[in-house]
Amino acid sequence: MSMQPLASPSQILEQRLQDEWIVGLDYPAWLARIHQRQQALQAFTAKGIYPRILLVQSDPLEFLAGLMAACLAECPVFLGNPSWRTSEWKQVLALAQPHLIWDGTSSLSPRVNDPDPCQPLASEKGWIMVPTGGSSGQIRFAIHTWATLSASVKGCQRHFFGEGKGMIHSCCWLPLYHVSGLMQFMRSLLTGGQLLLLPKQAFARDTSLDPKVAAFVDPTSLLPQAYFFSLVPTQLQRLLQQGDQRLLWLARFRTLLVGGAPAWPTLLKAARRHHLQLALTYGMTETASQVATLDPEAF
């Protein structure tokens, strides 16, 4: 069977321009911001220079616009955690030595002994650096490209849909800079699916939500039926404690992907008792995907 050519970032974005496939941000404003970032990079790339970008954004619109602009321009981009402490910033700045820092301010805060940027290298063109190793105290970056992330998406799609090309609709409640959140964006983007972005306080009382997000998280909503929902065990535990209506809402999801840490026995028993479509998963930043995922039918 012949291999289909890999669709480039520009081809994919062009295919999806009219979809408004991301819920939870201003889609036209997102497209406009991508264009603005692209224009800023063209001053470099027109001269054959591909600057290193450190992307540190808590705003999903700014983060995803910066990511897409970097990918479209084939500039190496380091994904950053807005919650890094000073010691972690020192590591990152020394390691990445960025030419551009996109963090939503005029200067990085804290700006800690920012080294002189290293010369752009042709070998780094198109790199997407995903942070890992923070729990060990030493931050590293796994080197990915559009091709490696696309391969991960294809593997996930094949696992859940076989050879059929099913669309992956993602409900994202995880950080976009982390591989677990990043890949939800990529899966929905590349498979023609929808991406619903949940704010951190989406399930707290009296939280003001985008109307479409509010409709989705309403306990009586049937919208989750087509969606994958990725959670760490503590998030699942908090939702299970919200009562019967929320349990019924969780049970409507096509699949609940649970990973990032071991799920304890009582949590798993509760999930089985309430007939949740749980897919326990183990993955790595280095593979940008699940290394092993249990089928919900086997749970």
State the DSSP H helix or E strand holding residue 281, giving kind and residue range, or none if neither: strand 278-284
pLDDT at 275 > cutoff 90: yes
Q: Which domains does the chain have, with CATH numbers?
A: 9-144 (3.40.50.980), 146-298 (3.40.50.12780)
107 has a pLDDT exceeding 50: no
Please compute, for residue 14, the number of CA atoms within 13 A of its CA located in the half-sphere on the CB side.
6
Each residue of 128-138: pLDDT tens digit? 999 987 555 68
Q: Residue 149 corresponds to which amino acid? A: L
pLDDT digits (tens, 9 = 90+) for 38-76: 999 999 999 999 999 999 999 999 999 999 999 999 999
d(CA 281, CA 180): 11
Nearest by Cα to 185 from 128, 127, 223: 128
- CB-based burial label for 261 (10 Å; 0-12, 13-18, 19+): exposed
Instruction: Write the pLDDT tens digit of every residue in 156-182.
Output: 999 999 887 899 999 999 999 999 999
Q: Are strands 278-284 and 289-293 parallel, antiparallel or unpaired?
A: antiparallel
Q: Could you report the per-residue pLDDT of 84-104, keeping only the tens digit for each?
A: 999 899 999 999 999 999 997
Amino acid found at 70: A
Confidence of residue 109 (pLDDT cuts 50, 70, 90): very low
227-231 vs 195-197, strand pairing mode: unpaired
Q: Average pLDDT of 152-157? A: 93
In whole angstroms, give the CA distance from residue 165 to residue 163: 6
Residues 6+ apart with CB under 8 A from 80: 54, 55, 56, 92, 103, 131, 177
